Amino acid sequence: MPGADKLVEGYRRFREGYYKENKALLHDLAECGQSPKIALVSCCDSRVEPTIIMDCAPGDLFVIRNVANLVPPCEESDKYHGTSAALEFAVTGLGVESIIILGHTQCGGIKALMDAPEFSDSKTFISTWMKQLDNVKQEILQNEKYISPEHRYHACEKQGIEQSMDNLMTFPWVKERVDAGELRLHGWYYDLNSAELFALHPDEGEFIKIS
């Protein structure tokens, strides 16, 4: 079955099943608007579906997706800042209580960054976007404890989460609310193979499994 036809079939099942069973909830969301407490920055990877992983209902999560779940630093240049704009709306418009950066294993964006030749002059949208983590890449390549490509990928996936959390604090409307205790930042890491979820504990400097 072609992909689009599969979606049409799924929509029909939604109308006959989920929609009928949750009509009141969906109607309230349509009439009253959204008020999620969580903004979540996730990767575009089709295998990582936050609402399924966290068993959430419509309206629970304000999900922002991009390649490798990155948050860029606050910039004022006249460019297009989709992730920053979505975060601004989540924080200043919706008043979310938490922002979660959700990374994962086997991230294609991270692999593209780590596998790219050091002196390549190739420029793609992905390579330009991933340059945000060039400093992380160099640090990992120079660290002898990462003995295999897989070790380096995992290290970059996790350090990318940490850098994105640092970058969140460069936005004044994030920093003000964090400092006031009105907003909390979280770094989570999802293992595709085991379906286990890990949370960053800044004091320990490591990701610890959520049980």
- Please report, rounded to a whole number, the percentage of residues in the chain having pLDDT higher than 90: 90
The length of the chain, given as a count of residues: 211
The confidence score (pLDDT) of residue 202 equals 84
Task: Answer yes or no: is pLDDT of 203 > 90.
Answer: no
Q: How far apart are CA 211 and CA 204, in angstroms?
A: 17
Q: How far apart are CA 113 and CA 104, in angstroms?
A: 15
**pTM for the structure as a whole:** 0.94
Q: How far apart are CA 73 and CA 101, in angstroms?
A: 14
The confidence score (pLDDT) of residue 107 equals 98
pLDDT digits 0-9 by tens, 100-118: 999 999 999 999 999 998 7
Tokens 């999620």, located at residue = 36
Of 79, 68, 170, the closest CA to residue 129 belongs to 68
pLDDT digits 0-9 by tens, 9-66: 999 999 999 999 999 999 999 999 999 999 999 999 999 999 999 999 999 999 999 9
Of 209, 135, 191, the closest CA to residue 199 belongs to 209
Q: Which residue has the higher pLDDT, 161 or 202?
A: 161
The confidence score (pLDDT) of residue 118 equals 79
Task: Answer yes or no: is pLDDT of 198 > 90.
Answer: yes
The confidence score (pLDDT) of residue 204 equals 81
Strand order in the sheet with 98-104: 61-66, 38-43, 98-104, 184-190, 197-201, 206-209
The confidence score (pLDDT) of residue 3 equals 86
> Quick one: DSSP state of residue 35?
-
Q: Which domains does the chain have, with CATH numbers?
A: 1-33 (no CATH), 35-209 (3.40.1050.10)
Structure tokens at 38: 């969580």
CA atoms within 13 A on the CB side of 149: 9
The confidence score (pLDDT) of residue 2 equals 82
Q: Which residue has the higher pLDDT, 77 or 55?
A: 55
Task: Work out the end-to-end distance of the chain between its first and last CA atoms, rounded to an integer number of angstroms.
Answer: 39
Q: In terms of DSSP bridges, do strands 184-190 and 61-66 run parallel, antiparallel, or are they unpaired?
A: unpaired
